[in-house]
Structure 1
Amino acid sequence: MFVVRTSGRSAAVDDDRREFSLLGKRQLSGLALARPVTTGVRSRAVLELQQNQGRARFRALVGGEFVPGEGDRLSWRVRHWETVRPTPQQGLLRGALLPGLPEGLDHAAEAGLHADLSSGALPAGRLVIDRAGYDQESSPVLFATAAELLLHILLAGAFGSPAEPVIRSWVAAGRIPVALTRVDIEA
């Protein structure tokens, strides 16, 4: 597991956390234009972000998988949780989260992927977000950021690039620099 912390923000990345699986049948999905790839391996990761603002501590956990594929399309899917009473699970950072991606946060996760999906610069293959965790303080903005960061972590893993610069940049500055995201997408 990889963890980066400052007083205002924290991020942790791990290979997988099955206890945060999204098993519901509902999902957002689609196809996006993509560039053909000739190399790459399956990549899976889980990311938890925490951002402190005053006395509030916002958290978001997302995880998924990217599998490079042939052709000029990227198939993507964001799954939902449909259980009424999920059991709290220990997150990657301190504290428990409820497994799931409730309505509102699911659309935020999709929104975090939207700019990259619309660019046509992502590699062809299959992207799925199928892990998530939230709490009472979870915000749609942080879920959108988490989904965007997760995409770059998955691409880095698939094409042998380090993900740490993107994570460290977000923890230090609260944003993902364009220069770093282009490196991941062009890997």
Structure 2
Amino acid sequence: MFMVRTAGREAAIDDDRREFSLMGKRQGNGLALARPISTGVRSRVVLELHQNHGGCRFTALVGGEYAPGEGDRLAWRVKCWETVRPTPQPGLLPGTLLPGLPEELDHAVGRGLDPYLNSGYLPAGRLVIDRAGYDRESSPLLFVTAAELLLHILLAGAFGSPVEPLVTSWVATGRISAVLPDFG
């Protein structure tokens, strides 16, 4: 696990956290035009972000997998799930989260991915967002950021770029590096 903290923001990444699995009762999915690739490996990551703003601590946890594929399409899917009585689970950062991705937050994840899915620049393969956690302080805006940062981290891991600078940069500046890795 990798963790970075400042007074205003915190982030942590880990390989996986099955306790935050999304069952896919509802899901958004599609195919996007993508760049053909010749290299890359499967990448799975879970990311948790905390951001302090106006006396509130906002939280978002998302996770997923990217697997390179042949052709010129990226198949993507965002699974959503919410139980009647979710059981709180320890997050990557201090505190507990409820497993799931309620409707308002799944739309936020989609908004974080949309600009990339519509660009035609992403590499061919399969992208699945299938882990999530939230609490009463979760913010749709932070879930937009978390989805975007998760995509950058998954692609960096798949194509051999270091992920730590991406996370450290977001914690330090609140911004995501606009540079995606070279896909080979």
Tell me, in whole angstroms, the C-alpha distance in 2 between the residues paired with 1:84 and 1:73. 36
Shift of 1:186: 4.2
SS at match of 1:107: helix
1:3 is aligned to 3
Taking the TM superposition and a 5 Å limit, the aligned residue runs for 1:127-138 are 127-138=127-138
2:14 is aligned to 14
Please give the TM-score of this superposition, normalised by the length of structure 1. 0.96
Bigger share in helix: 1
Contact residue 155 and residue 185 of structure 1 kept, 8 A: no
Taking the TM superposition and a 5 Å limit, the aligned residue runs for 1:99-178 are 99-178=99-178
Taking the TM superposition and a 5 Å limit, the aligned residue runs for 1:39-54 are 39-54=39-54
1:91 is aligned to 91
Q: Which runs of 4+ in 1 moved over 2 A?
A: 184-187
Change (3 A) 1:134 1:29: same
Q: Which amino acid aligns with 2:167?
A: I
Per-residue deviation, residues 90-144 of structure 1 (Å, max 9, x unmatched): 0000000000000110000010011111111100000000000000010000001
Contact residue 43 and residue 66 of structure 1 kept, 8 A: yes
Contact residue 60 and residue 139 of structure 1 kept, 8 A: yes
Tell me, in whole angstroms, the C-alpha distance in 1 between the residues paired with 2:25 and 2:37. 30
5+ residue gaps, structure 2, are: none
Tell me, in whole angstroms, the C-alpha distance in 2 between the residues paired with 1:140 and 1:104. 7
SS at match of 1:104: helix
Tell me, in whole angstroms, the C-alpha distance in 1 between the residues paired with 2:166 and 2:82. 32
Tell me, in whole angstroms, the C-alpha distance in 1 between the residues paired with 2:123 and 2:103. 28
2:24 is aligned to 24
Please give the TM-score of this superposition, normalised by the length of structure 2. 0.97
Q: Which amino acid aligns with 1:141?
A: L
Shift of 1:185: 5.5
Per-residue deviation, residues 132-185 of structure 1 (Å, max 9, x unmatched): 00000100000010000000111011111101111111101101132xx33x25
Does residue 81 in structure 1 map to residue 119 in structure 2?
no
Q: Which amino acid aligns with 2:38?
A: T
Shift of 1:55: 1.8
5+ residue gaps, structure 1, are: none
Tell me, in whole angstroms, the C-alpha distance in 2 between the residues paired with 1:96 and 1:152. 25
Change (3 A) 1:141 1:62: same
Contact residue 35 and residue 73 of structure 1 kept, 8 A: yes
2:35 is aligned to 35
Question: What is the CA RMSD across the aligned residues, in angstroms?
Answer: 1.0
Identical pairs, percent: 74
1:66 is aligned to 66
Contact residue 122 and residue 185 of structure 1 kept, 8 A: no
Tell me, in whole angstroms, the C-alpha distance in 2 between the residues paired with 1:99 and 1:121. 31
